[in-house]
């Protein structure tokens, strides 16, 4: 009971940010979306831009992001978040605008929107959650699915001759002149979370400096889709995803 | 005296994923045998030794570790 004496205002080392609402998230246990929501909320709180931030929520599991982070949101049609963000940012140049998109949303149906938004160099932040699977619809193969990975539509593993090769969106947008900051992060350990938060903060700051689009890929897990426990999914991600999707800054100017 | 810490867990938010348990540097945390309202085994401080590093709170996907305190008893 000695320890309970520590519960005093001056000893507070960490608290849940008030920007996260009290609604319990609908995500599966261990889903990286929750961690990423928390990181975004903490960055917005640290920068003091709650009133000036507009998020674009995608189609997919994260469609209910507007229930969890207490900022202004707009929900886009499947894959069209960068187009909507372009309009919002051009009409409200003093707002921080970011999109939050999964790999089915950004890398599949929304490929043209994201490539053209990045090519135009819109001053927005694109947060790309890559879990190599379509999580919400039942674990089908996504463009980012690794070769040999088992999904519900590739039960014998993804084959390059039949299904093509995994798409590295981050490397593709890094080649475009409109992007200023392109990075790949993850959120499975405290170190990775802290690095990722730094990257998100830098991207938000870039969006006010008229430098171009900032693109952050966050390699994530989908433990329900991968049919693994949360802890094993993190391990699988380290062993299989990181060799193909190496972490770190791809472009920074 | 060494620095000690304590975490406050919102039991009803916790989904028992166990990511905090493997990221705890002092191996203080475990999942309880009891379940919360939704049937998840929530996390609790099973042993002494918490240093209040807040690593568990940083990685918690559901923000179930709502507060971390750190200081000298």
Task: Provide, as residue numbers in chain A, all residues whose Cβ is less than 8 Å from the Cβ of B69.
Answer: 6-8, 11-13
Query: How confident is the model over A105-157, as pLDDT tens digits?
Result: 999 999 999 999 999 999 999 999 999 999 889 899 999 999 999 999 999 99
pLDDT tens profile A105-115: 999 999 999 99
Q: How far is A157 from chain B (nearest CA, A)?
A: 27
Is the minimum CB–CB distance between B17 and chain A shorter than 8 Å?
yes
Asked if B12 reaches chain A (Cβ–Cβ under 8 Å), the answer is yes
Question: Hey, are the CB atoms on B23 and A231 less than 8 Å from each other?
Answer: no
Q: Tens digits of per-residue pLDDT, A28-71? A: 999 999 999 999 999 999 999 999 999 999 998 999 999 999 99
Q: What ipTM was assigned to the predicted interfaces of this complex?
A: 0.93
Query: Could you give the CA distance from residue A235 to residue A223 in angstroms, rounded to a whole number?
Result: 11
Instruction: Please give the pLDDT value at position A4.
Output: 83
Topology (CATH level 3) of domain A27-252 = Rossmann fold (3.40.50)
Is B57 in Cβ contact with A7 (below 8 Å)? no
Q: What is the pLDDT of residues A184-206, one digit of tens each?
A: 999 999 999 999 999 999 999 99
pLDDT tens for each residue of B24-62: 999 999 999 999 999 999 999 998 889 999 999 999 999
Residue of B nearest to A223 (CA): B17
pLDDT digits (tens, 9 = 90+) for A76-106: 999 999 999 999 999 999 999 999 999 989 9
Class of domain B4-71: alpha beta
Nearest residue, CB atoms, A12 vs list B60, B62, B67: B67
């Amino acid at each position: 009971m000695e320890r309970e004496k520590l519960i005093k205002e001056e000893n507070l080392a960490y608290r849940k940010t008030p920007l996260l609402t009290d609604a319990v998230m609908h995500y599966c246990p261990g889903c990286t979306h929750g961690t990423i929501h928390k990181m975004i909320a903490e960055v917005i709180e640290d920068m003091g831009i709650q009133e000036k931030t507009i998020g674009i929520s995608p189609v997919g599991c994260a469609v209910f992001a507007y229930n969890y982070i207490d900022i202004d949101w707009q929900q886009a049609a499947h894959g069209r978040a960068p187009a909507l963000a372009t309009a919002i940012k051009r009409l409200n140049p003093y707002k921080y605008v970011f999109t939050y998109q999964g790999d089915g949303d950004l890398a599949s149906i929304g490929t043209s929107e994201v490539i053209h938004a990045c090519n135009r160099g819109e001053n927005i932040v694109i947060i790309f959650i890559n879990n190599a699977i379509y999580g919400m619809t039942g674990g089908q193969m996504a463009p980012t699915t690794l070769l040999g990975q088992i999904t519900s539509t590739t039960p014998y593993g993804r084959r390059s001759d039949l299904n093509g090769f995994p798409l590295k969106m981050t490397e593709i947008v890094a080649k475009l002149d409109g992007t200023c900051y392109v990075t790949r992060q993850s959120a499975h350990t405290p170190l990775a979370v802290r690095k990722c938060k730094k990257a998100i903060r830098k991207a938000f700051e870039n969006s006010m400096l008229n430098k171009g689009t900032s693109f952050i890929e966050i390699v994530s897990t989908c433990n329900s889709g991968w049919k693994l426990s949360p802890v094993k999914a993190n391990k699988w991600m380290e062993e299989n995803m990181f060799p193909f999707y190496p972490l770190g800054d791809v472009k920074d100017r | 005296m060494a620095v000690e810490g304590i975490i406050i867990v919102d039991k009803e938010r916790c989904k028992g994923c166990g990511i905090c348990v493997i990221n705890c540097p002092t191996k203080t945390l475990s999942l309880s045998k009891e379940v919360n309202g939704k049937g998840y085994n929530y996390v609790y401080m099973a042993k002494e030794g918490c240093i209040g590093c807040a690593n568990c709170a940083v990685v918690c996907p559901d923000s179930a570790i709502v507060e971390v305190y750190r200081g000298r008893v």
